[in-house]
Chain A
Amino acid sequence: MNLGSGQGSMSTASSSGAWKAGDVVPDQFPAGLRVLVVDDDPTCLMILEKMLRTCLYEVTKCNRAETALSLLRGNKSGFDIVISDVHMPDMDGFKLLEHIGLEMDLPVIMMSADDGKHVVMKGVTHGACDYLIKPVRIEALKNIWQHVVRKRKNEWKDLEQSGSVEDGDRQQKPSEDVDYSSSANEGNWKNSKRRKDEEDDAEERDDTSTLKKPRVVWSVELHQQFVAAVNQLGIDKAVPKKILELMNVPGLTRENVASHLQKYRLYLRRLSGVSQHQSGLNNSFMGPQDATFGPISSLNGLDLQTLAVAGQLPAQSLATLQAAGLGRSTGKSGLPMPLVDQRNLFSFEAPKFRYGEGQQQQQQLSNSSKQMNLLHGIPTTMEPKQLATLRQSAQSFGSINMQVNAHGNDSSSLLMQMAQPHSRAQILNETTGNHVSRITSSMGQPVLSNGIAGGLLTRNVIVENGRGAGFNPVSQGPSVVEFPMNHTAELPGNSFPLGTNPGISSIQSKGLLEEVSSEIKGSRGFVSSYDIFNELHQPKSQDWELQNVGLTFNASQHANSIPGNLGVSPSVLVHQVFSSGQKSGQNMNTPVVSKAMFSVGAGSEHGNTHNISQHLNTLVDSSLRVKTEKILDPSCEITPFPEHYVQEDLMSALLKQQQEGIGPVEGEFDFDGYPMDNIPV
């Protein structure tokens, strides 16, 4: 690679374009890397800024997570990498990480003065691509460009893989390093990214995050309907056409459904993959970068051992894992990830995972390649077994929790943390993600996300634990939860684990995941439909529509309760989300889950309220997303992983949504708000 001369050239200024455009002058690489640094401590911020400028990077600093999110949202491709502190007053760094992962799919480096294993693990499970201990030295910053290159490379690979094949192909993403060297080289990475974009355009998978085609907005409600239809048909037999018929939603096309299904499958796959570890299901979870989705697949069995291993993974090995994981996961190999790989998952294989997941999709889904991308890691094709496993795991979550608790080890403690607060998670089990989406919607979207996340988390947790990463639990609880959301999405079906997007945290209902992902970023590859969310976000009105849809859906049901719920705890919300699908009992689960998820984090997070709204957004299905996004906007950025959400956020999020604009909701559901043109199918 030609790095070097960056120092000498003072072309930093010019670089803003350089990185993206691919015109980067090799000699200047990585000069001009556009970094966004977020830290509430002004002293640290000043020092970091100076250090980064000395590295010839272009630096933008902000002291609030919300500001950072709005900057990122306002300029999706305006930054190459984000560096964020873990402890911030307005939003937990992990939540921000999730959001970014879900929405923008940028590499995120976490930093903290805290070098505790758990926190570092949390970073891993949430998909941070690196974790720096404060005080940060300039040497540590000099090499951050590698994360940008790596991510692009993986994305590109994923694109290629997913684009070209149907579900099956996707799974196999061999770790080709072919592009690596080239991408690593001057500006090539940019090219690869561009190529990815081109491919996205050209291929059916229209889900590339880079594309911004309007997409159908999968509101929570819609997603719930989708999930119900899928469950009715049986995951194996669920073909877009039939699903479409069952759903009977005017304006929805087969393509929309197909791409959503693809994502959903990925999500499921991811969920089961996490548990595979334990049950041998192997969903090739590639460990989305953001959210170690991979671990989720091993939901089935808490793999404490894995967890232990995970727990022991030193931060330093993150890079290794990443590398390892990268090689592997990229392949979207929806393949069963061996334990080792799972570890990698922790490391951020998100991008890969996404694509891999898509592979499992059915052919029809292939169209929704775009969607697949969104799914990042959402195992769209959830094998029945996996589903069953997930279900089981979900159900046994409660017991797992117990088990987890039993283990006192570090690694397990993480799980335990998760598990404990997750009594709700158990509830989740019930819901088993059937109606995660539903739940979310009912919650008024914010809830959904929470719920879903919660549910997902629990799932993930379980899985994660197995993985060793305790995906969820690892991070001290809540944070994990968030992430698992993505994973959890994979849980039996309902939650659509956006997987790839950590933030997406397997959005509770499957739909959520997708939606979340779409919001998160087109790049996530989440389903093209999810893109809608992204797009939705942009125009507030649109968002509202989606949100409203979800809200209305929920609003009617929970409008009143939501506020209460918010305070209640994520679990409730989650419940709703989950329960939507399952309908009644579910509520319990969802909230639990989310709670678990959130609560995990909740405990630690102080700024949950904000988070909640944020989280809610993420959790909520795409529609929720939309809403949450909206809601969050005012308050805060939607954090895909509503760790905090769980309780307060959901409520506030819900409330906000309702206040903001539920208006169009009612009508929205009829897809007024769905930009349907992208249907990748």
Chain B
Amino acid sequence: MERTQQHRQVAHMRQSLFDQGLLDEQFVQLEELQDDANPNFVEEVVTLFYRDSARLVLNIDQALDKSPLDFSKLDSYMHQFKGSASSIGAKKVKSECTLFREYCKAGNGEGCMKTFQQLKKDYAVLRKKLETYFQVIFHSLLFDKDGEN
């Protein structure tokens, strides 16, 4: 029962992440890659993403502080960031990246900054939610291990 509940909780959480538009099909790809050889693959990838993209976020922040704005550099950073985010299936963050790039192309500094603020928020929210999600999974596994409790 506990186990079932745990599983249901996991499933529910997972579904809501998709429903809220935070994750897309690519995340499912990651889940499918997870196997016995890499049982925590998804979590590892997400962790790696957040760790690696932190520097990009920092770079972009710094670049946005400069004046005048170097749009091509910003665009380049964002391109990298977008590639990374899309590889983990971060749907909302990815769309913000796209928007940011459009502002870059248009040379719209304001737009860039606003978009980036929003992007950082969504990026942080997603991280939290995923952390919680992984914890719930972890707990559910504990229950599994212990057998029926």
Contact = CB atoms under 8 A, between A and B. Distances in A.
Contacts of B89: 135
Interface string A299-327: 00000000000000000000000000000
Interface string B36-51: 0010010011001100
A527 B89 CA distance: 47
Interface string A118-141: 000000000000000011111000
B130 interface: no
Contact of B49 (A43, A112, A136): A43
B75 to A, nearest CB: 11
A41 B88 CA distance: 12
A54 B35 CA distance: 10
A118 to B, nearest CB: 14
A556 B89 CA distance: 56
A47 B49 CA distance: 11
Interface string B46-80: 00110011000000000000000000000010011
A138 B87 contact: no
A46 B48 contact: yes
Contact of A41 (B32, B33, B41, B84): B84
Q: Which size class do A's interface residues fall under? A: 20 to 34
Contacts of B33: 47, 50-51, 54, 138
Contacts of B38: 50
Given A54-B33, A134-B83, A138-B33, A43 B45 contact: yes
Given A43-B84, A44-B84, A135 B79 contact: no
A85 B86 CA distance: 14
Interface in A20-69: 40-44, 46-47, 50-51, 54
Interface residues of B, number: 24
A46 B48 CA distance: 9
B82 A113 contact: yes
A87 B30 CA distance: 23
A123 to B, nearest CB: 16
Given A87-B80, A606-B76, A47 B30 contact: yes
B26 interface: yes
B95 interface: no
Contacts of B84: 41, 43-44
B82 A50 contact: no
A41 B29 contact: no
14 contacts: A44-B83, A46-B44, A46-B45, A47-B87, A50-B33, A50-B41, A51-B33, A87-B79, A134-B86, A135-B26, A135-B29, A135-B87, A137-B26, A606-B76
B80 A134 contact: no
Interface of A: 40-44, 46-47, 50-51, 54, 85, 87, 112-114, 134-138, 606
Contacts of B44: 46
Most B CB contacts (10 A, CB to CB) among A42, A51, A85, A87 go to A42
A11 to B, nearest CB: 16
Contacts of B45: 43, 46-47
B32 A113 contact: no
A43 B30 CA distance: 11
A42 B86 contact: no
Contacts of A50: 33, 38, 41
Nearest to B82: A113
Contact of B80 (A41, A47, A136): A41
B122 to A, nearest CB: 17
B41 to A, nearest CB: 6
Contacts of A136: 87
A113 B76 CA distance: 12
Given A41-B52, A47-B87, A50-B41, 12 more contacts: A42-B52, A43-B53, A43-B84, A43-B88, A44-B84, A47-B30, A47-B33, A54-B33, A113-B83, A135-B89, A136-B87, A606-B76
Nearest to A41: B84
A551 B8 CA distance: 70
B64 to A, nearest CB: 19
A113 B30 contact: no
A54 B34 CA distance: 10
A42 B45 CA distance: 9
A1 B64 CA distance: 54
B149 to A, nearest CB: 33
Contacts of B52: 41-43
Nearest to B24: A135
A138 B83 contact: no
Nearest to B47: A43
Contact of A138 (B29, B35, B48, B76): B29
A562 B118 CA distance: 48
A141 B29 CA distance: 13
A134 B35 CA distance: 23
Contacts of A113: 79, 82-83, 86
Contacts of A112: 83
A495 B88 CA distance: 46
Nearest to A136: B87
A247 to B, nearest CB: 47
Contacts of B48: 42-43, 46
A114 B79 contact: yes
A606 B38 CA distance: 36
A128 to B, nearest CB: 17
B87 A44 contact: yes
Contacts of A87: 76, 79-80, 83
A42 B46 CA distance: 11
A40 B52 CA distance: 11
Contacts of B26: 135, 137
A40 B53 CA distance: 12
Those 10 A-B pairs whose CB atoms lie nearest each other, nearest first = A113-B83, A43-B49, A135-B87, A135-B86, A135-B26, A44-B87, A50-B33, A43-B84, A43-B48, A42-B52
A138 B31 CA distance: 12
Contacts of A43: 45, 48-49, 52-53, 84, 87-88
Contacts of B83: 41, 44, 85, 87, 112-113, 134-135
B16 to A, nearest CB: 22
A50 B87 CA distance: 13
A647 B49 CA distance: 35
A322 B84 CA distance: 30
Contacts of A606: 76
A596 to B, nearest CB: 20
B141 to A, nearest CB: 20
Most A CB contacts (10 A, CB to CB) among B29, B38, B41 go to B29
B22 to A, nearest CB: 15
A600 to B, nearest CB: 15
Most B CB contacts (10 A, CB to CB) among A112, A134, A138 go to A134
A87 B73 CA distance: 13
Contacts of A114: 79
